Structure 1
Amino acid sequence: MTAAQPDVSVIIGAYEAMPYLVECLQSVEGQTLDPARIEVIAVDDGSTDGTGEYLEEFAKRAPMTVTVIRQENSGGPSGPRNVGLDQARGRYVFFLDADDRLGTEALERMVAMADEHRTDVVLGKVVGVNRNAPKSMWGKTLPRTDVFSSKIKFTLSAQKLFRRELLTRHGMHFDESLKTGEDALFTMEAYLRADGVSVISDYTCYYLVGRDDGKHVTKSGSYSLRFDSARALMRLIAELVPAGPRRDLLMVRPFLITLLPQFGPVFLTNSEEIRAHKLELAKPLMDAYWHEGLARQLKVNERLRLHLVARGRADLLADVVGFVKANKAPTVFIDPRGGRAYLAYPHFRDRAAGLPDEWFVPTVRETVAVEAFKPTTTVHFRRLRKAARRLRKAARRVLKVRRAA
């Protein structure tokens, strides 16, 4: 590191960000990391609400180096982020949304973590303010991990610390053709190319703020954009990870988080035309990437819906979606011939539907509401299997006694 090179470049893409920008910049100004080790590159993407003027005022008084770039509106977050990335000089870059804010020690902790463990990406704990935030990956701090042995695949937003050398070596930029999910594509590629990833779970590094005006970028866009996002992410995973269990592990993410919600409760409100169009958009993705090994990783209601999507069965799919939306508990059916358990969602063993029994087999970890034993009682499938084995043994003993008599 040269004397003039900052440790971290904080890249802020801002569009119509007032008044949230005020607290955002305060959180940058209040960082415990030495201001001489921080540079801020703020890109005003054609705002008309005073965002650009406020950024320029901040640049005059901030204790760290601040560069403000003002441009015509680009139509999405990728353009400003790419402009900032091309201007960055820091060893690391951090993408900060203009309506969010940093924890006071965030940059200091993340830079120290990356330096100590020589990792290329650092995830700092995120909490939501008036909105939901991902939770599953914050169980414990992980000094060094990867995308296959942790749950980081379920947080693909761009608000992370990236080693800039990694990004420049692979020519990484945000895909400006995508209007949603562009950060997922960028972050997944970084995970896959990184020499180690760190997770900080014992300190809140990032506050994900829900806007009162509902203008957060992730809330906008038509359903077709979600299919564009899923397609790009699936293609990336297929290109960088050979076919097999490791690829399947990652493919769960776009199927579960991006594709499946299009066939959730909203599907019931869609017109027949939109339903047909969604199935048309999904078909090439299902044909290319959906298979039984991937399906087995999902819960029955998730797996069943995606299997029906793959078959283009909008009629049966609507029945299953309605059942799930009503929060009904499926009856557990234990086959008397072999003791195998199934979750009897709509069209289970319906001859007219012709759906395979395998689609209804619960995962080992799946918890189900067992109507056959006690309504709304939750038990693990392992307990179900043990109970079935005990019943079979008892039946054999009775049969043996009867035969002897």
Structure 2
Amino acid sequence: MPYLVECLKSVEAQTIDPGRIEVIAVDDGSTDGTGEYLEEFAARAAMPVTVIRQENSGGPSGPRNVGLGKAGGRYVFFLDADDRLGPEALERMVAMADENGTDVVLGRVEGINRTPPKSMWGKTLGRTDVFSSNIKFTLSAQKLFRRALLDRHGMRFDESLWTGEDALFTMEAYLRADGVSVLADYTCYYLVGREDGKHVTKTGGYALRFDSARALMNLIAEMVPAGTRRDTLMIRPFLVTLLPQFGPKYLKDDEEVRRHKFELAKPLMDAYWTPEVAQRLKVHERLRLHLVAAGRPDLLADIVEFVRAKRQAAAVLEKRGTRVYLIYPHFRSRAAGLPDSLYLAEAREARAFEGYREASANSFLRRALRKIRRTLPPGGFGTAAA
């Protein structure tokens, strides 16, 4: 409350026939009148509404699992109480799934006082998958899932995770799905930023983020054999979950926290950080994660401070413009001993600099990044068994 009021209004405003909607509302031990409001809504709503009231579970996984266990429809959609739907959302997403026979549908998301992922909304796709699109960068639970898919594989949210549980669930659904649809030309979901800032995803200590990264990386490794396809998916937990722990927040951490973060990151870097993952990242991203993998906190703070200041790195063009090195701290420092290949810009970054020639640059980058192995401690670029 009061976000729930607008949320339920958006449910009542759906253009799909109310007889085709089943609402299961799980009140997870609220103390602000939510339970009573849900009962009132159930009494007046045109569609069938089931209200379940339970003791507070502490996280979203428990109540979602309870609701999923009661669901009887062909499709399931998870709607958070502080967000809302576009009027045609359910009608359009169900039609998309029916037309294409897909198991998961992503409806366009817009933010209200929040910034949602954007890279996957370039165009509507009737049928795609997690390897050939950017859907790996939106792993929230607010998708349309074919219930038969979830039931067939016994899929439920991991109640041991306090954050990132939806990423685990959604990634598994992507990997098991017989096709995924992307509905990019209509806003289906409004992600609302709460004025009190009390979003579950923003609560909890840093160690929970490492738990989330570990769970997602392990899932990907279990379901996808080592190789290019796995590396493509590993970019997501490295960039979205792990890297922020070594961003501006890191500069405010005391020495004990910094040491603990390196300890938590080490087994993940040893198992899943590969040259193929590294080459897909921007220079400052690759640099920071390399220093984490190499156990070099002495150098990391300088890189993070440079990034925090939002300074534009200068560039050095060599080999007739086919190589562009970005001059972040410790570039060609004998004391630091970092290989030039860490600073070598991928084509998408290099194109911003006048004089760059794209021919053969990428092939050089791939060769150069393999040399990074030599600067890591034993196991630094290891690969876990699938």
User: With structure 1 as the length reference, what TM-score do the two structures score?
Assistant: 0.87
Output aligned runs, 1:1-40, within 5 Å. Answer: 18-40=1-23
1:379 aligns with 2:353: yes
Distance across 2 between alignment mates of 1:283 and 1:385: 37
Which is worse superposed, 92-101 or 210-219?
210-219
1:235 aligns with 2:218: yes
Match of 1:306 in 2: 289
Work out which of the residue numbers 11, 16, 27 in structure 2 matches 1:44.
27
Q: Which amino acid aligns with 1:151?
A: N
After superposition, the C-alpha distances for 1:290-339 in whole angstroms (9 at most, x for unaligned) are 01111000011000000000011111000001111111222212346996
8 Å Cα contact 1:341/1:385 also seen in 2? no
Match of 1:248 in 2: 231
Residue 65 (structure 1) shift: 0.5
Output aligned runs, 1:2-401, within 5 Å. Answer: 18-335=1-318, 340-367=323-350, 378-379=352-353, 383-385=355-357
Secondary structure in 1 matching 2:62: helix
Runs of 4+ in structure 1 deviating by more than 6 angstroms, as ranges, are 336-339, 386-389
8 Å Cα contact 1:237/1:251 also seen in 2? yes
Identity %: 76
After superposition, the C-alpha distances for 1:71-98 in whole angstroms (9 at most, x for unaligned) are 0000100000000000000000000000
Match of 2:365 in 1: none
Distance across 1 between alignment mates of 2:98 and 2:315: 52
Distance across 2 between alignment mates of 1:178 and 1:104: 32
Return closer, same or farther for 1:53/1:353 CA change in 2, 3 Å cut-off.
same
Secondary structure in 1 matching 2:131: coil
Secondary structure in 2 matching 1:379: coil
Return closer, same or farther for 1:42/1:332 CA change in 2, 3 Å cut-off.
same
Larger radius of gyration: 1
Q: Which amino acid aligns with 2:257?
A: I
Distance across 2 between alignment mates of 1:203 and 1:265: 35
Distance across 2 between alignment mates of 1:21 and 1:311: 47
Residue 351 (structure 1) shift: 0.8
Match of 2:374 in 1: none
Distance across 2 between alignment mates of 1:30 and 1:100: 14
Q: Which amino acid aligns with 1:101?
A: R
8 Å Cα contact 2:320/2:357 also seen in 1? no
- What is the alpha-carbon root mean square deviation over aligned residues? 1.7
8 Å Cα contact 1:45/1:74 also seen in 2? yes
Residue 170 (structure 1) shift: 0.4
Distance across 2 between alignment mates of 1:158 and 1:388: 41
Distance across 2 between alignment mates of 1:175 and 1:336: 51
Distance across 2 between alignment mates of 1:95 and 1:387: 47
Residue 130 (structure 1) shift: 1.1
Secondary structure in 2 matching 1:198: strand
Q: Which amino acid aligns with 1:329?
A: Q
Secondary structure in 1 matching 2:195: coil
Residue 56 (structure 1) shift: 0.5
Distance across 2 between alignment mates of 1:387 and 1:50: 64
Return closer, same or farther for 1:23/1:367 CA change in 2, 3 Å cut-off.
farther
Distance across 1 between alignment mates of 2:58 and 2:40: 25
Residue 366 (structure 1) shift: 1.2
Distance across 1 between alignment mates of 2:350 and 2:325: 12
Distance across 2 between alignment mates of 1:200 and 1:124: 5
Secondary structure in 1 matching 2:347: coil
Distance across 1 between alignment mates of 2:140 and 2:309: 31
Secondary structure in 2 matching 1:140: coil
After superposition, the C-alpha distances for 1:108-151 in whole angstroms (9 at most, x for unaligned) are 00000000100000000000011111111111100110001111
8 Å Cα contact 2:316/2:327 also seen in 1? yes
Distance across 1 between alignment mates of 2:358 and 2:156: 52
Residue 221 (structure 1) shift: 1.1
Q: Which amino acid aligns with 2:353?
A: V
User: With structure 2 as the length reference, what TM-score do the two structures score?
Assistant: 0.91
Distance across 2 between alignment mates of 1:154 and 1:271: 31
Residue 35 (structure 1) shift: 0.6
Match of 2:372 in 1: none
Which is worse superposed, 330-339 or 73-82?
330-339
